[in-house]
Amino acid sequence: MTPELFFQYLFAGITYGIMYAIVAIGFNIIYNTTGIINFAQGEFVMLGGMISISLLQFMPLPLAVVCAVIITMLVGALIEMIFIRWLDNPSVLRLIIITIGLSILMREVALHIWDESIRSLPYFYGNEITTIGIGPVRISPQVLWVIGVCGVVVIGLSLFFKITPLGREMRACSANRTAAILCGINTRNMVTFSFMLSAGIGALAGCVMSPITYTQYDSGTALAIKGFTVAILGGLGNSMGAVAAGLLLGILEAYSVAVVPLAFQDAISIAILLIILFVRPHGLFGSSEAARLTEF
């Protein structure tokens, strides 16, 4: 393999990995406060993209993205309040089935609103063929946008959870719900907040990724599967772990193209997911103790 090709695969891998990671972070937020996996996370990504594309006709791009994120956050809050909030001590299995149902529902609604054609936001900088040369390889400037947004989200989240009172209350809710209630924290509100937060991050991811991947009513599913794999791989609830695991999986996928036919790319990532679930169910970067404390 020539050095040039080596770096080309590397950058392709980073592109994939960062996209998976930003979806995985959305999974982690809801997991952290509720202990459940929200299988409708991919649909938040799709909604963000679709809403911003529709809004673009009426407003400039940055405003459309901001509005799309806010609207998706409201959708997230609404969904939590209608379908999850009133449940009295629901089992994990029940919640998971509810989120799977929600993902199907959102997909069908999107099909009726936006039909089945593919859409995308324009490139934030340049157009479809603009590239930036980094050493011997050339990448689309949009990839840098995705990396930048992912970085800001990861740093912003860790600050939010460490410093702000709201972030601490959400963490308390995840560590021990009963104790959190005893401390006067409204845990139900925390769950709503977590849905809003992850919907917002999903929507933001959907906007920055849209020029690269396109947005279609069912594009959330494939992203959710990869995002879920990465969330497990990095250790559920661990945002930094998600980034590392995302990059690892993306780079592995990119290099796998060099040796095995492309059709096996997805088989490889699913095989990795299975191996991790058997060997290290708490993920590469998660602690086994923390995993034991949760409801799984």
Partner 1 sequence: MKGVLKKIVWGTAAVCLLAAPAVQAENIKIGAIFAVTGGASFLGGPEARSAEMVVEEINKAGGINGNTLELIIKDSGANPEKAISFAKQLIEEDKVLAIIGPSTSGETMKLKKIAEQGKTPLISCGAAEVIVNPVAKYVFKTPQKDSFAVKKIYGEMKKLGMTKIAVVAGNTGFGKAGKAQLLKAAPEFGIEVVAAETYDKKATDLTALVAKLMANKDIQAVVNWSIVPAQAIIAKNMRQAGWDVPLFQSHGFGNIKYVEAAGAAAEGIIFPAGRLLIAESLPDSNPQKALLLKYTNDYEGKYKEAASTFGGHGYDAITILATAIGNGGTDRDKLRDAIENIKNLPGTGGVFSFSAEDHNGLDIESFVMLTVKDGKFVAYEGK
Residue with Cβ nearer partner 1 (177 or 226): 226
Amino acid at 127: N
Q: How far is the CB of 58 from partner 1 (least distance, A)?
A: 19
d(CA 41, CA 255): 28
Q: How far is the CB of 7 from partner 1 (least distance, A)?
A: 9
Q: How far is the CB of 216 from partner 1 (least distance, A)?
A: 7
d(CA 26, CA 194): 9
Q: Give the angle subtended at the CA of 227 by the CAs of 223 and 228, to the nearest 5°.
A: 120
Please report which helix (H) or strand (E) contains residue 123, including its range: none
Residue with Cβ nearer partner 1 (43 or 169): 43
Q: How far is the CB of 76 from partner 1 (least distance, A)?
A: 23
Where does this chain bind partner 1 (CB under 8 A)?
2, 5, 8-9, 11-13, 15-16, 19, 115-120, 122, 127-131, 138-140, 209, 212-214, 216, 219, 221-223, 253-254, 257-258, 261-263, 265-266
DSSP notation for 40-100: THHHHHHHHHHHHHHHTTTS-HHHHHHHHHHHHHHHHHHHIIIIITT-SS--HHHHHHHHH
Tokens of 6: 């080596």
Q: How far is the CB of 126 from partner 1 (least distance, A)?
A: 9
Q: Residue 148, CB half-sphere, CA atoms under 13 Å: how many?
A: 7
User: Given the structure tokens 């590239």, which residue do they identify?
Assistant: 131
Residue with Cβ nearer partner 1 (165 or 261): 261
DSSP notation for 201-265: HHHHHHHHHHHHH-B-TTHHHHHHHHHHHHHHHH-TT-HHHHHHHHHHHHHHHHHHHHHS-GGGH
Residue with Cβ nearer partner 1 (43 or 253): 253
Residue with Cβ nearer partner 1 (11 or 160): 11
Q: Give the angle subtended at the CA of 38 by the CAs of 122 and 221, to the nearest 5°.
A: 45
Q: How far is the CB of 226 from partner 1 (least distance, A)?
A: 9
Q: How far is the CB of 62 from partner 1 (least distance, A)?
A: 20
Residue with Cβ nearer partner 1 (19 or 157): 19
Residue with Cβ nearer partner 1 (126 or 167): 126
